[in-house]
Amino acid sequence: MGVAERSGVEVPRAKGQYTLKIYHLASHIPWAVQKMLPADAMVLVEEAWNAYPHCKTVLTNGYLSKDKFRIIVESMHLPDNGSTENALNLSKDLLKKRKVETLDVAALNKEEEGYKAENDPRVFLSTKTGRGKLVKGWETSAKPVMCCYKLVTADFKYWGLQGKIEGTIESKNRLLFQRSLAHAFCLIDEWHGLTMADIRRLEEQSKAELNSALNKEGADESKTPEKAEGASSANAAATAEPATQASAASGAGESGAGAGDAGAGAGAAGSGSAQNS
């Protein structure tokens, strides 16, 4: 394997698609705090290698050392219901450190902020496939079924903040993973049956729309300089893999290969692994 120059992680060998995204976060940070931070500190860099069924995503910061702050999410999609013990071929040492969590996307919390019934597999019913309205225990009987196994490694090696920040990263990812795959399942009528050519065409369309929006945003900001510093945007080299990673899955469709780490081609719950180091 080679090593990525930006993030310093091993690059997957399999042929796939590489995505680079740069997120400018200043607009989400209070003005007074912005003035105290270097510009690079308000930038997140995301690299993603999508070689379905294996995907890898890395987040680093433009200012913090990649040796001290880095989030790595590695995924493997398998046609089972979470029964594979070591889907990502971890070493014995890493297996000892690993904490395994099972996320069922048919067990969304209706009381959580942001919950939408239309994105709940317990409510949704696919008109194309007849899949949906999942009930408790569905993962033992649903066919076809797929599980997305995820290994999350979160590093924030700054004394006094490490435990709190790494714990926050873990909890945020847990919610993000569960909701992402639940949403992917509920979009099954939009992606079921797509070919790889269809997917690539949609990716190019999304990239063109994103670039158009960013160009428009840049033009608007040039007219209002006082707002430009607080811009929030994502510069994407490609749009193969959304910035969402999911750790749960199943109810897989016949197509969806190459649909990315967010789990299109999957449907609803399973088993994932998370590791903080």
**Token code pair at residue 236:** 């994407």
193: alpha, beta or left, given left = phi > 0 and alpha = psi -120 to 50? left
In angstroms, the CA 214 to CA 234 distance is 8
pLDDT in tens, 159-185: 666 666 666 777 777 888 889 989 999
Residues 146, 77 contacting (CB under 8 angstroms): yes
Residues 257, 196 contacting (CB under 8 angstroms): yes
> For the domain 2-276, what is the CATH code?
3.30.530.20
Q: Which residues of 167-202 are buried (b: 16+ CB within 10 A; e: fewer)?
A: eebbeebbebbbbbbbbbbbebbebbebeeeebeee
Pairing mode, if any, of strands 147-156 and 272-276?
Answer: parallel
Amino acid 123: pLDDT: 94
pTM of the model: 0.70
CA triple 260-63-154, angle to 5 deg: 50
Amino acid 247: pLDDT: 30
Residues 236, 44 contacting (CB under 8 angstroms): no
pLDDT in tens, 140-162: 888 888 999 999 888 776 666 66
In angstroms, the CA 150 to CA 174 distance is 11
**Token code pair at residue 62:** 């433009």
Tell me, rounded to whole angstroms, the distance of Cα 25 from its chain centroid.
Answer: 18
Per-domain residue ranges of the chain? 2-276
Residues 63, 83 contacting (CB under 8 angstroms): no
Q: CA-CA distances (angstroms) from residue 186 to 117, 142, 178?
A: 10, 15, 13
Q: Which residues of the chain have pLDDT under 70?
A: 1, 5-6, 8, 157-167, 217-277
